[in-house]
Amino acid sequence: MRLFIAEKPSLGKGIAKYLPGSSSSGNGYVQCGQDVVTWCFGHIFEQVEPDYYLPDDVPLAKSGKKKWRFEDLPIFPEHWKLEAKDDAKAQIKVIRELLKKADLVVNAGDPDREGQLLVDEVLEELGWNGPTQRIWLAALDEQSVNKALSTLRDNREYRNLCQAARARSRADWLVGMNLSRAFSLQNSGGGVLSIGRVQTPTLALIVARDEKIENFRPKDYFVPRIHTGFWSSWELHEDFPGVDGEGYLTDRKAAEALTAKARAEGQAVVQEYESKEKQQSAPLGFSLAELQKVCSAKLGMSAQQVLDAAQALYETHKCATYPRTDCRYLPEEQFGEASRVLSGLARLGFGDLVKNADAARKSSIWNTGKVTAHHAIIPTGSMEGRPEGATAKVYEIIVRSYLAQFYPPYVYRATKAVLACAGETWKATANVPVSAGWKAVYGLSDEDGDEAQQPIPALQKGQTLPVQDADVQAKQTKPPARFTDGSLIEAMSNIHKFLEDEAAKAKLKETSGLGTEATRASILETLLGRGFVERKGKQLISTKAGRDLVKALPRELTDPVTTAKWEDALSLIAEGKLTLEQFEEAQRTVVARLIEAAKSSHLKVGETHSGGGKRGAAKAKKQGPTCAACKKAKTVVLRTKTGKDWLKCEACGAAFWPDKSGKACGTQWEARS
């Protein structure tokens, strides 16, 4: 018997649908001829609580758990121990019995490092030593599943990927469990402080942006212009009186003197003139971060909502490919499927756009050399059950992005005129659309924010133009914008842009980010759930508790460079260039040093509470079940502004969504669902 173990029921049933033989459903599995498909519910094993590793003589607190004491830190497991989640024990029993009958196992975890570990750890915990293969599913439509079934690989080829995920899990435990305890013990404000390898520097990013905005002082500056049938602006030069160190002309009288001088001159001479057609190719496909950025801007969706929608399009509707990707390219080998996908999209209601698409056009998105573990998010050309609401809107955005690849470039005329007048240089530019090209897919009204520009007539070098008017535009510098879900995800993906250290910036530019495509949305939701950040409309704003925490912690914990380098190390483990043991030893050294730093710290961070937005300024309705994270206390049932219940532990701050039955699902908000 061949046994497929999928990451979740929807994935398992998606595979079972295309296996040979008639199918029949059992308790927690599907029989398909000689094959059986069963599944997990995300991670069904989890790291044990720190109490497991502490000596038996540690006194108990009122909660029945062992007291938090500095003398017990750091907690470094000699042998790591996993335990079955309470709500997964029945399914674990199903998998154990099926393994007894199996001749071959197929790991059907999601196609990423976490999906690899998720099934591998089940096999390890249940003692499976038989032959194991791996199925890598980029999409769940019939053609993609059949192709994946015909290209099964030996699961041992993915051992390094599994080790990278295990290293991530252990590093998060070492940092979270040890440092949360250490700094909470030093917190005179009474709050239990949540420290995270990724969440803490992400919080620091938001705090830094908020403080920059609040400390910002607008600066008045001036732009002199002349009109010679079109407006040209004065070309600033730093040695001009009135130009400050930041390159702004801040002296209004100096600006007015320039325009008065130009007006008196009465004419301008064309020094340069250039007008030529330029082309702009369609944007590359969507990585998850880019999709979250676009949907945040266009639809006002949170990063988690976009991920949930994209996941539903992949798993439930099977109309889009795997969403947790950091890649914006497609393999050239897949180009041959374009006609099939376009035909499918025509049948799904995009016929008017498909008829103008050229299936033979090969844009720059097709580049096998730039494809990572997963390719860009694209439509599959088929669909099971039509998506609705926001999910349908996300699908349309994905479809239009794909269709744009088969349209010609956007063509515009770029014109530049440089004039000499009154001993100064004046410049005018204009980009005028010639042919909509791929922008027609989005409609001509969607020009990515381009404004209508003044026409510049054809000119000759040396031509004299009369100065018809001159004025001074008064402007003001603006602070940076508050983070939104989309812009924060982009910042986490491109953390090098926020660094001042040029060496670190150069190193991290191509390789690192905060978190991964799969985790960034949940990290943001964790910060919201723990009351360190709140939503105001689309904006993300740090709370007092969040700011106090960032200010109180050592820079090493809040510096994004630290975590970005760790992500680099995890990639090296996946590539077989670094061992799990080497990485873990380095983490233990860092944690031990930071615990010593905590001993001399003095924090005063109060109890944190959930802020506004998705989880709202909710009020407790009633007491919920015991917290599945800390096992210390009952949760409270809170309600979002949209009327959806959720659970929060007042002891450790963990947040949970209830399952369909209304019981606690036992899965922390930041964990995989």
- With 0-12 / 13-18 / 19 or more C-beta atoms within 10 angstroms meaning exposed / middle / buried, residue 448 is exposed
- With 0-12 / 13-18 / 19 or more C-beta atoms within 10 angstroms meaning exposed / middle / buried, residue 608 is buried
Residues 181 and 263 in one domain: no
Least confident among 212-216, 231-235, 652-656: 652-656
Q: Using one digit for the tens of pLDDT, what is the confidence trace for 3-21?
A: 999 998 888 988 999 999 8
- Residues 64-87, mean pLDDT to the nearest whole number: 94
> What integer best gives the mean pLDDT of the chain?
88
Q: What is the pLDDT, as a whole number, of residue 130?
A: 96
Structure tokens at 527: 């910060």
Residues 301 and 314 in one domain: yes
Task: Please determine, for residue 138, whether its predicted confidence score (pLDDT) is greater than 70.
Answer: yes
Least confident among 240-249, 371-380, 427-436, 646-655: 646-655
Task: Please determine, for residue 630, whether its predicted confidence score (pLDDT) is greater than 80.
Answer: no
Q: What is the pLDDT, as a whole number, of residue 70?
A: 92
Residues 18 and 140 in one domain: yes
Structure tokens at 322: 């795997």
462 is a domain residue: yes
109 compared with 662, residue with greater pLDDT = 109
Residues 10 and 140 in one domain: yes
What's the pLDDT band for 634 if we cut at 50, 70, 90? low
Residues 237 and 114 in one domain: no
Q: State the amino acid at position 279 in one-letter form.
A: Q
Q: What percent of the chain has pLDDT over 70?
A: 89
12 is a domain residue: yes
Q: What is the pLDDT, as a whole number, of residue 8?
A: 87
Domain end among 443, 476, 509: 476
CB 5 within 8 A of CB 107: yes
Q: What is the pLDDT, as a whole number, of residue 497?
A: 84
- Residues 574-578, mean pLDDT to the nearest whole number: 95
CB 409 within 8 A of CB 277: no
Residues 128 and 179 in one domain: no
CATH number for the domain spanning 247: value is 2.70.20.10
200 is a domain residue: yes
Residues 488 and 581 in one domain: yes
Q: How far apart are alpha carbons 48 and 629 in whole angstroms?
A: 10
Q: CA 534 → CA 522, 531, 538, 549, 618, distances in Å?
A: 14, 7, 10, 15, 12
- Residues 553-559, mean pLDDT to the nearest whole number: 90
Q: Using one digit for the tens of pLDDT, what is the confidence trace for 190-225?
A: 778 889 988 999 999 999 999 999 999 999 999 999
Residues 304 and 230 in one domain: no
Residues 567 and 637 in one domain: no
609 is a domain residue: no
604 is a domain residue: no
Query: What is the number of structural domains in the chain?
Result: 5
Task: Please determine, for residue 629, whether its predicted confidence score (pLDDT) is greater than 90.
Answer: no
Task: Please determine, for residue 107, whether its predicted confidence score (pLDDT) is greater than 50.
Answer: yes
Q: Using one digit for the tens of pLDDT, what is the confidence trace for 476-500?
A: 999 999 999 999 999 998 888 877 7
Domain end among 143, 161, 179: 161
What's the pLDDT band for 640 if we cut at 50, 70, 90? low
What's the pLDDT band for 600 if we cut at 50, 70, 90? confident
Task: Please determine, for residue 445, whether its predicted confidence score (pLDDT) is greater than 90.
Answer: no
Query: Which structural domain, as residue segments, surrounds residue 311?
Result: 288-404
CATH number for the domain spanning 303: value is 1.10.290.10
Least confident among 192-201, 260-269, 581-590: 192-201
Task: Please determine, for residue 612, whether its predicted confidence score (pLDDT) is greater than 70.
Answer: no
Q: CA 357 → CA 304, 440, 558, distances in Å?
A: 32, 11, 48
Task: Please determine, for residue 642, whether its predicted confidence score (pLDDT) is greater than 60.
Answer: no
658 compared with 325, residue with greater pLDDT = 325
612 is a domain residue: no
Task: Please determine, for residue 658, whether its predicted confidence score (pLDDT) is greater than 80.
Answer: no
- With 0-12 / 13-18 / 19 or more C-beta atoms within 10 angstroms meaning exposed / middle / buried, residue 206 is buried
Q: What is the pLDDT, as a whole number, of residue 657?
A: 65
Residues 8 and 149 in one domain: yes
CB 14 within 8 A of CB 145: yes
Residues 203 and 272 in one domain: no
Least confident among 13-22, 164-173, 250-259: 13-22
Is 29 a known active-site residue? no
Domain end among 418, 441, 476: 476
578 compared with 664, residue with greater pLDDT = 578
What's the pLDDT band for 616 if we cut at 50, 70, 90? very low
Residues 176 and 73 in one domain: no
- Residues 128-151, mean pLDDT to the nearest whole number: 90
Catalytic position from the list 29, 322, 395, 407: 322
Q: What is the pLDDT, as a whole number, of residue 318?
A: 93
Q: What is the pLDDT, as a whole number, of residue 511?
A: 60
Q: What is the pLDDT, as a whole number, of residue 262?
A: 97
CB 136 within 8 A of CB 322: no
